[in-house]
Amino acid sequence: MLYSKEELESIVKSNKSKAECLRALNKKPVGSNYKWFDKKIKEFDLNISHFTGKGWSFGKRFRVGNKATSLKEILVENSTYSSTYKLKLRLFKEGIKQQICEECKNTEWNGKPIPLELEHCNGNNTDNRIENLKVLCPNCHAQTPFYRGRNKLSCLNERREQNRVKFGETLLSGNTEPSPTVNREGVETLRREPKAKSICKCGQTMHRLSKKCRDCDNLERKTKRPEYNQLIEDFKQLKTKVKVGKKYGVSDNAVKKWLELYQIDLDMVKIKSSAQTEMVAKAIV
């Protein structure tokens, strides 16, 4: 269907987005229709300056640029302005800070502008007072005591020390059974309580995830595991895990686990066996 310039111009004036205009023309707001509508806008030179341009604006005209937060509101203690990068650019733009490292006075490195970072001198990134801010190059910034959260461990140790003092004061006051609130602040809460162990049907303790203790597990084995010396003799005679496994009716993987349990080095067993064979051969000669 062909549309005249006047028809399209009327629809554009009465709507605030391309999608609304397409719906008014009984067209779906999809890719090919957007291309057709863009072509008509250029062809008839239609004025769309009142369009919001974004579907998430719900057809309402949004403000042209939000009002920037004033530096007086930002450069305060306990500031809610969280972007250090944007704050650095604002300080450069307003001329409050110069684009130079305040420590080494460098502006270039290898013939290129040196990247600059904004440091909070006391380690508190919400304290944006101008005396607490310093422009530094990456090298100088890395040498500061609070670089990249370096102060977090010291703060944790400080809190732990405070907890120890509080816990000690609680015990000295004669309260040998501190309340749950005191416990949460005490030293004991810094460690996890040991997990409860399970009890086997024989009465022995076992790991909480185990179904039976080690002794019961050994009693219920399909084949009784041979003793250390017997296993050594078997390997001297039979040589391989497969043959030893056939002797006891188990797989070679089970024999491998026996070796690991007894910490037997199979190569050393073979070396000893070959050495004994040579000694016997020499004796016969």
pLDDT tens string 246-257:
888 888 898 888
pLDDT tens string 64-94:
555 678 888 999 988 888 889 999 999 999 9
Q: Whats the size of the chain, residue-wise? A: 285
The torsion angles phi and psi of 10, rounded to 5 degrees, stand at -65, -40
Instruction: Give me the pLDDT at residue 222, please.
Output: 67
Judged against a pLDDT cut of 70, whether residue 95 lies above it is answered with: yes
The torsion angles phi and psi of 153, rounded to 5 degrees, stand at -65, -40
pLDDT bracket for residue 3 (50, 70, 90): confident
Any bridge partners for residue 108, and if so which?
A: 113
Q: Which residue has the higher pLDDT, 259 or 186?
A: 259
Instruction: Give me the pLDDT at residue 181, please.
Output: 45
pLDDT tens string 100-158:
999 999 999 888 999 999 998 888 888 999 999 999 999 999 999 888 777 665 556 66
What is the rounded CA–CA span in Å between residue 275 and residue 36? Answer: 92
At residue 65, what is the residue type?
A: G
Domain ranges of the chain: 5-57, 77-149, 163-190, 195-223, 228-284
What is the rounded CA–CA span in Å between residue 34 and residue 53? Answer: 12
DSSP state of 128: -
Query: pTM for this one?
Result: 0.36
- Which range among 17-31, 176-190, 198-212, 232-246 shows the weakest confidence by mean pLDDT? 176-190
Instruction: Give me the pLDDT at residue 98, please.
Output: 93
Instruction: Give me the pLDDT at residue 280, please.
Output: 41
Instruction: Give me the pLDDT at residue 279, please.
Output: 52
* Mean pLDDT value across the chain: 78
What is the rounded CA–CA span in Å between residue 18 and residue 51? Answer: 8
pLDDT tens string 194-204:
566 788 888 88
DSSP states of 76-95: STT-----HHHHHHHHHHTT
Q: Which residue has the higher pLDDT, 230 or 52?
A: 230
Instruction: Give me the pLDDT at residue 178, please.
Output: 47
What is the rounded CA–CA span in Å between residue 105 and residue 96? Answer: 16
At residue 137, what is the residue type?
A: C
pLDDT tens string 158-180:
667 777 766 666 556 655 554 54
pLDDT bracket for residue 229 (50, 70, 90): confident
What is the rounded CA–CA span in Å between residue 250 and residue 271? Answer: 25
What is the rounded CA–CA span in Å between residue 131 and residue 147? Answer: 18
What is the rounded CA–CA span in Å between residue 245 and residue 72? Answer: 82
Is 202 in contact with 218 (CB distance < 8 Å)? no
